């Protein structure tokens, strides 16, 4: 089946800026991540497709090769890739050598590649984000096969020199006047082949395993922050260095607080009586309770700020604030006596409604002026 266009996979135009490509990748990676779609096998396929597209389009050289030659320009097997075996230089290097008499470095390719970077989505509570914590995560990874020690060959045997390229990893094809040099189709540029592959890894030299890591979460992390664990990604190929593991932070929703950068917001319901007469109420904070003095005649929407009761960010020198948003709660399930008292209150203030309810009077005046104008 033909590969889809990388730009179509990410849903961006061919002239998209690097930042737009990065944003599109992050959005789709979150959407199709296998951890978020455990019951959807197609999600993992989409995730791999998105990851491959981003790896090509995020690298200027690879993107340029893809723009010019399509998938053949970045496919190691196609002999025209911008990176890895079968690169652009391999496909046409022989031509320039023959014409200009250039000299290329001899010998086979080592094909030593750095291991892939991995990402792990970690969900933590607001309290853990505020104060920091240490947790353990279990991740799948490709480790060096213990049976063959990474050679890919069955125990007691060794990979053999490729008979097609004689170990050089490259072959030359004579096409009339031109001599074209390209990656060996038998060994794919390694200069060797495995006649009797290892039964544990089937010749890959690596096997899929799980490992448990301790992750230290610094105090003040926020949604989307990443923690890098150097060398904890996949092992490299043919002795290459391991990739890195990026732990991406996601915050669970909180029952009381909403976070906005280093500030916290909460809703503060107060009774009708407290709003009218004033009083003192207890407010929860991340490090205990605090008291707020509510002045008389407080209206819904008023915000009380408790300085320093927010979160101290990772890159901040001071704590944020806690902002408490007042909501005056209308009493419910009233008895007949309570209803009667409220009616008496209404009747007693009717003659001077503008004094007791200035906001309502101002609104009614604006409504009256509106209709008079129309």
Could you tell me the residue ranges of all domains in the chain?
A: 1-74, 118-153+203-251, 257-329, 336-373
Give the model's pLDDT for residue 96.
Answer: 38
Write down the pLDDT at residue 85: 36
CA distance 216 to 232: 14
Tell whether residue 324 is among the known ligand binding residues. no
Return the bridge partners of 197, or none. 153
pLDDT of residue 297: 86
Token digits of residue 295 = 């002045």
Q: How far apart are CA 110 and CA 11, in angstroms?
A: 36
The predicted pLDDT at position 150 comes to: 78
**3 state SS of 55:** helix
Identify the residue whose tokens are 């104060």.
131
- How many degrees, rounded to 5, is the angle at CA 12 between CA 6 and CA 16? 105
Give 72-79 contacts, CB < 8 A, sequence gap 24+.
Answer: 76/183, 76/188, 76/189, 77/183, 77/188, 79/182, 79/183
Instruction: Determine if residue 266 is labeled as part of a ligand binding site.
Output: no
Nearest Cα neighbor of 165 from 188, 191, 127 is 191
Per-residue pLDDT at 10: 92
Residue 90, phi then psi, degrees to nearest 5: -70, -40
351: tokens are 């003659």
Burial (Cβ within 10 Å: 0-12, 13-18, ≥19) of residue 170: buried
Per-residue model confidence (pLDDT) at position 350? 64
> pLDDT above 90 covers what percent of the chain?
20
Rg (alpha carbons) of the chain, rounded to whole number: 33
> Of 3.60.15.10, 2.60.260.20, 3.40.190.10, 3.40.50.410, which CATH number belongs to 118-153+203-251?
2.60.260.20
Q: How far is CA 241 from CA 61, 153, 188, 211, 237, in A?
A: 22, 21, 21, 18, 8
DSSP 57-83: HTSHHHHHHHHHHGGGGT-GGGT-BSS
Check residue 320 and give its pLDDT.
92
CA dihedral 39, 45, 48, 51 (to 10 degrees): -90
Contact criterion met (CB below 8 Å) for 257 and 266: yes
pTM over 0.75: no
What top-level class would CATH report for the domain 1-74? mainly alpha
Q: 257-329 maps to which CATH number?
A: 2.60.260.20
In this prediction, residue 92 carries a pLDDT of 39
Q: What's residue 108's pLDDT?
A: 42
Q: Phi-psi region for residue 121, left (φ > 0), alpha (ψ -120 to 50) or beta?
A: beta
**Distance of CA 151 to CAs 75, 143, 312, Å?**
24, 12, 50
Q: Can you list the residues of the chain whose pLDDT is less than 70? A: 1-2, 68-69, 71-73, 75-112, 175-179, 237-239, 350-371, 373-374
Percentage, residues of the chain above pLDDT 70: 79
Whether 257-329 and 1-74 are alike in CATH topology: the answer is: no
Helix, strand, or coil here: 52?
A: helix
Contacts of 63 (CB under 8 A, 6+ apart): 56, 57
| DSSP category for residue 222 | -
Closest CA to 141 of 211, 40, 230: 211
Q: How many residues does the chain have?
A: 374
């Amino acid at each position: 089946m033909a590969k889809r266009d990388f730009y179509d996979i990410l849903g961006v135009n061919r002239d998209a800026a690097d930042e737009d490509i990065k944003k599109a990748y992050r959005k789709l990676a979150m959407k199709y991540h296998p951890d978020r779609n455990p019951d959807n096998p197609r999600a993992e396929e989409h995730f791999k497709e998105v990851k491959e597209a981003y790896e090509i389009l995020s690298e200027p050289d690879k993107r340029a090769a893809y723009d010019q030659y399509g998938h053949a320009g970045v496919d190691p097997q196609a002999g025209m890739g911008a990176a890895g075996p079968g690169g652009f230089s391999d496909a046409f290097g022989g031509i320039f050598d023959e014409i200009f008499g250039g000299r290329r470095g001899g010998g086979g390719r080592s094909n030593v590649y750095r291991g892939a970077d991995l990402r792990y989505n970690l969900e933590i509570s607001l309290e853990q984000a505020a104060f920091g914590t240490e947790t353990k995560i279990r991740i799948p990874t490709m480790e060096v096969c213990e049976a063959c020690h990474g050679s890919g060959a069955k125990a007691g045997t060794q990979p053999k020199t490729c008979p097609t390229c004689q170990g050089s990893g490259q072959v030359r094809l004579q096409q009339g006047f031109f001599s074209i040099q390209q990656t060996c189709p038998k060994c794919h540029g390694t200069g060797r082949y495995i006649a009797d592959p290892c039964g544990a890894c089937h010749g890959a030299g690596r096997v899929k395993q799980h490992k448990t890591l301790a992750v230290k979460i610094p105090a003040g992390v926020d949604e989307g922050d990443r923690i890098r664990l150097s060398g904890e990604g996949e092992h490299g190929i043919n002795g290459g260095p391991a990739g890195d593991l990026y732990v991406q932070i996601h915050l669970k929703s909180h029952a009381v607080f909403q976070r906005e950068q280093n500030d916290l917001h909460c809703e503060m319901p107060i009774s009708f009586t407290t709003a009218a007469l004033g009083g003192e109420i207890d407010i929860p904070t991340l490090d205990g309770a605090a008291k707020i003095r509510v002045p008389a005649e407080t209206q819904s929407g008023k915000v009380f700020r408790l300085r320093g009761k927010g979160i101290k960010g990772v890159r901040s020198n001071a704590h944020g604030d806690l902002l408490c948003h007042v909501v005056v709660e209308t009493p419910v399930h009233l008895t007949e006596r309570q209803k009667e008292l409220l009616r008496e209150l209404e009747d007693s203030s009717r003659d001077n409604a503008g004094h007791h309810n200035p906001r309502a009077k101002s609104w009614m005046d604006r409504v009256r002026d509106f209709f008079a104008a129309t």
